[in-house]
């Protein structure tokens, strides 16, 4: 960052001296990393900087110059790949909104992209920076959106104001990741439905009652 761009007192950008960083190399490295992780079942452990450099037709030192270690590289590659498909819709029903997004997540986890996620989460157990990258660059942005969606539900009276959002989100997404990581049972859209039923169950009864007799404050 500051390594490449100098800003003079007038606020003008001034390029550092010397040959500028090759954008081509950067892109090739990240995309080779990504391709590798997506296509190999045993991602992180098998991925070697040697191989990445070779297949990106790049010097090994170029990789090391910009990423301190394999985890950083993978985290970066992952961050750059984060899908744009995981936004929450606004259908008018929180449960519907959550359900749709969860189905989308399940779809992605079951695709080649899922290998990438499992590589990150698996490798992350040995390398704190990886799991941090996953958390901050993938999970948190989505949680922020989820908060908004849930708040809409609260505002609409579908959910109680006292709701612990993080607890609810863990209850919704934990089981999905459990099946994804342990693979004891299939991870299907139907599972998402049933899961929503379990977690949202107690609110639905309340909500339907609330619907029949709308809240007094309204």
Partner DNA sequence: CAATAATCGAGACGGTACGTCACGTCTTCTT
Partner DNA sequence: AAGAAGACGTGACGTACCGTCTCGATTATTG
Identify which of residues 68 and 141 has a Cβ nearer to DNA in the complex: 68
- Residue count, binding to its own copies (CB under 8 A): 47
Q: Verify binding: residue 153, its own copies, rule CB under 8 A.
A: no
- Of residues 104 through 133, those in contact with its own copies by CB under 8 A are 118-119, 121-128, 131
Q: Which does 155 bind (CB under 5 to 8 A by kind): DNA, its own copies, none?
A: none
Q: Which does 16 bind (CB under 5 to 8 A by kind): DNA, its own copies, none?
A: DNA
Q: Which does 22 bind (CB under 5 to 8 A by kind): its own copies, DNA, none?
A: DNA
Q: Which does 25 bind (CB under 5 to 8 A by kind): its own copies, DNA, none?
A: DNA
Identify which of residues 89 and 163 has a Cβ nearer to its own copies in the complex: 163
Residues 6+ away with beta carbon under 8 Å from 121:
131, 134, 177, 181
What is the number of other CB atoms lying within 10 angstroms of the CB of residue 119?
Answer: 24
Identify which of residues 22 and 111 has a Cβ nearer to DNA in the complex: 22
The one segment of 21-29, 44-52, 86-94, 210-218 that binds its own copies by CB under 8 A: 44-52
Using CA atoms, how far residue 65 sits from 21, 81, 120, in Å, is: 10, 21, 22
**Contacting residue, 7, 39, 42, 59, with DNA by CB under 7 A:** 59
Residue 91 tokens read as 């259908």
DSSP for 108-134, please give it. HHHSHHHHHHHHHHHHHTT-HHHHHHI
What is the number of other CB atoms lying within 10 angstroms of the CB of residue 136?
Answer: 12
Q: Which does 170 bind (CB under 5 to 8 A by kind): DNA, its own copies, none?
A: its own copies
Task: List, in sequence order, the alpha helices (H) in 47-127.
Answer: 49-55, 60-66, 70-81, 94-110, 112-124
Identify which of residues 48 and 125 has a Cβ nearer to DNA in the complex: 48
Q: Verify binding: residue 126, DNA, rule CB under 7 A.
A: no
Closest CA to 117 of 131, 129, 102: 131
**Contacting residue, 31, 40, 55, 69, with DNA by CB under 7 A:** 69
- Nearest-Å Rg of the Cα atoms of the chain is 22
Closest CA to 162 of 196, 197, 203, 198: 203
CA dist 163 and 149 (Å) reads 13
User: Where do contacts with DNA occur on this chain (CB under 7 A)?
Assistant: 3-4, 14-22, 24-26, 48-51, 57-62, 64-66, 69-70
């Amino acid at each position: 960052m500051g390594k490449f761009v100098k800003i003079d007192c007038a606020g003008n950008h001034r390029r550092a001296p010397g040959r500028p960083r090759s954008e081509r190399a950067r892109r090739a490295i990240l995309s080779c990393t990504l391709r590798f992780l997506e296509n190999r079942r045993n991602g992180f452990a098998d991925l070697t900087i040697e191989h990445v450099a070779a297949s990106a037709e790049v010097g090994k030192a170029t990789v090391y110059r910009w990423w301190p270690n394999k985890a950083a590289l993978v985290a970066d590659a992952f961050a750059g790949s984060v899908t744009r498909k995981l936004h929450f819709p606004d259908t008018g029903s929180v449960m519907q909104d959550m359900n749709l997004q969860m189905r989308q997540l399940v779809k992605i986890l079951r695709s080649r992209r899922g290998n990438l996620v499992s590589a990150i989460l698996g490798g992350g157990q040995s390398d704190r920076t990886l799991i941090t990258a996953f958390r901050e660059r993938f999970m948190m942005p989505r949680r922020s959106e989820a908060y908004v969606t849930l708040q809409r539900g609260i505002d609409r009276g579908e959910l109680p104001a006292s709701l612990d959002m993080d607890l609810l989100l863990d209850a919704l997404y934990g089981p999905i990741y459990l099946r994804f990581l342990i693979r004891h049972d299939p991870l299907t859209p139907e599972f998402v439905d049933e899961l929503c039923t379990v977690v949202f169950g107690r609110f639905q009864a309340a909500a339907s009652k609330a619907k029949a007799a709308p809240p007094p404050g309204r």
